[in-house]
Amino acid sequence: MQIRTDLAMESRDSAQGLQGVSYRTFTHGNIEEIHVCIETEEAAKALEKARGKYITLSHASLSHAAPGERIALSKALADILRPLLPPFGDLLVVGLGNRHITADALGSRVLDGMLITRHMKDITEPSLRGRLRGVCAVAPGVLGVTGMETAEVAQGIVEHVRPSAVIAIDALAARETSRICTTIQVTDTGIRPGSGVGNHRRGLTKETLGVPVIAIGVPMVVYASVIARDALSLLLEDMGLDEREHENAMEALVGKVTEHGLGELVVTPREVDELVGKVARIIAEGLNIALQPRLSEEEIGAMMHDGM
């Protein structure tokens, strides 16, 4: 059952009984938070994830949240982000993915809603001076469009701009159909090679960029084989199969599906145009709140307006 997941919370099953991993779950209203911490190299190896923190924010109707809920989600996201940020220095937000493929456009869409301040710290009005944290942002595009790895572009920019941290936004592949557009994952481990909708060949991590990399991801696509497996799981649940039989049936399915090419099909919800817009707004608002702790939400709103 080798289906890749970008969400640490989905590896919970594999982690049962494993030392060096902690799980904590919080619920506030309809929002569920899962904090996974992979503390040892052994656990990291077993889960095929880097050591570090992985926090997911889930809400059954994340992408259809009413205005009030949307703001609650933005604030919950800001609360998750704040302790991961370095206390000083400019921040560089990197929007990954391909803006021309809606299902992969989350990164560039988040940037559209962000308050960019690095260039105006000195020229802004006196009342704001000294209260703006410098934020800059770039959506470098994907390898097939630019001929350059996102990591190459990001490295070059980091060396010139010298931010104290990078925040990378990316669309992910889900391993459970129900995760699509319902979960935001934040991690301090950066973007790993092979992850994301666009399958990054190189990572964006502290090792490659030289500064901490906080990654924010949302599952936007799912392999057809995952849908098939989720459906078969539902069917097998009632059959009283033991775990071994269950596993065998699943493996047979995935084998068959792969053999016929069905499994390679990657799909996204029909309404992806709308979903990506709504989720991008939540993330942008959460980032604006977390990155500008000395501004009120009203001040952020007014500056967003002026800047547009």
217 binds a copy of itself (CB under 8 A): no
158 binds a copy of itself (CB under 8 A): yes
CA–CA gap between residue 169 and residue 4 (Å, rounded): 19
66 binds a copy of itself (CB under 8 A): yes
- Helix 272-291 to helix 67-81 angle (10° resolution) is 50
Backbone phi and psi for residue 184, each to the nearest 5 degrees, phi listed first: -110, 125
Place of tokens 């029909």: 270
Nearer to a copy of itself, 134 or 212 (CB): 134
- Single out the residue of 147, 240, 242, 243 in contact with a copy of itself (rule: CB under 8 A): 147
Query: Which range binds a copy of itself by CB under 8 A, 8-16, 37-45, 147-155, 210-218?
Result: 147-155
Considering only residues 233 to 252 of the shown chain, the ones binding a copy of itself according to CB under 8 A are 234-235, 237-238, 249, 252
- Pairing of the two strands 52-58 and 183-187: antiparallel
Residue in 274, 272, 65, 264 with CA at minimum distance from that of residue 180? 272
Mask: binding to a copy of itself, 97-126, rule CB under 8 A, as x and -? ---xxxxx------x----xxxxx------
Min separation Cβ 61 and a copy of itself, Å: 11
Residue 84 has what DSSP assignment? G
153 binds a copy of itself (CB under 8 A): yes
157 binds a copy of itself (CB under 8 A): yes
Q: Is the Cβ–Cβ distance between 69 and 30 less than 8 Å? A: yes
Written as six digits, the tokens of 273 are 């145009």
Considering only residues 262 to 291 of the shown chain, the ones binding a copy of itself according to CB under 8 A are 262, 265-274
Q: CB-based contacts of 139: which residues, under 8 Å, 6+ apart? A: 94, 95, 96, 97, 99, 107, 108, 111
37 binds a copy of itself (CB under 8 A): no
Considering only residues 187 to 216 of the shown chain, the ones binding a copy of itself according to CB under 8 A are 197
Nearer to a copy of itself, 46 or 153 (CB): 153
230 binds a copy of itself (CB under 8 A): yes
18 binds a copy of itself (CB under 8 A): no
